[in-house]
Amino acid sequence: MAATTEPPRQLGKDELRRTKVGRTEFRHKARHPIKVVLDGVLQNYNIGAIFRLCDAMLVEELVIRGAEVNLRKRKLVQAARGTQLWVPWSQADSAAEVVAKAKADGYQVLIAELADNSVPVDQFVPRFPVCLVLGAEFDGVSPAIADLADAAVEIPMHGMGNSINVATAAAIVLHHLVHHAGAAP
């Protein structure tokens, strides 16, 4: 690819909108074979940011356990920026039951967790469909979910901290999964 001498020009809203399908068509658009399960993620900002990621990555479903989701909460709305209206989602009383069903349906269960057998996310090769489970901000995924997992991925921590924000972790892992899933469905 040849380098250009002109600086990049940001696209405006109208230009970005022209690349999108209509609202009716979007509801029927194929999605990547990825189910995201939030196991005890409680902060509305993180839930909203993950809605936005699930929309950007065209995941098939977001399942939330642990928080009573109110789509009108200010921080959720600010982070989601309207994507909560487009992402197929549900709430569940038990993340373990959702994950067990996904596993029975043939999903590879993947947790984002620092564990003794986790592999760096960039070295993980997924088998689709994938059920990605992201744990609570402080406690990670529950032991019941860890017992159901087929694999664990980690995001290497080169600094002094041992973890990153759950929405940031979701972005890194989802980007990797979508890359392996191929072009948009």
Q: What digits encode the pLDDT tens for the residues 68-115?
A: 777 778 887 787 786 787 889 899 999 999 999 999 999 999 999 988
Please report whether residue 99 resides in a domain. yes
Q: How far apart are CA 104 and CA 47, in angstroms?
A: 26
Please report whether residue 104 resides in a domain. yes
pLDDT band at 63 (very low <50, low <70, confident <90, very high): very high
Write the DSSP assignment of 56-108 as a string of letters.
HTTEEEEEEESS---TT-HHHHHHHTTGGGTS-EEE-S-HHHHHHHHHHTTPE
Q: How far apart are CA 33 and CA 25, in angstroms?
A: 19
Please report whether residue 10 resides in a domain. no
In the predicted model, is pLDDT for residue 128 greater than 80? yes
Structural domain range at position 33:
29-181
For residue 108, give the amino acid letter. Q
Please report whether residue 20 resides in a domain. no
Nearest to 49 by CA among 154, 185, 178, 164: 164
Please report whether residue 165 resides in a domain. yes
pLDDT band at 171 (very low <50, low <70, confident <90, very high): very high
| Structure-model confidence comparison of residues 26 and 69, the more confident one | 69
Provide the CATH number for the domain around residue 146.
Answer: 3.40.1280.10
Please report whether residue 87 resides in a domain. yes
Nearest to 163 by CA among 139, 132, 144, 130: 139
Please tell me the least confidently modeled range out of 17-26, 55-64, 100-109: 17-26
Longest dimension (CA), the chain: 56
Please report whether residue 4 resides in a domain. no
pLDDT band at 6 (very low <50, low <70, confident <90, very high): confident
Contact 177, 169 (CB under 8 A): no
Q: Total structural domains in the chain?
A: 1
Please report whether residue 24 resides in a domain. no
Stretch 119-123: mean pLDDT, rounded? 96
* Dihedral-angle region of residue 94 (phi above 0 means left; psi in -120 to 50 means alpha; beta otherwise): beta
Q: CA Rg, the chain, in Å?
A: 17
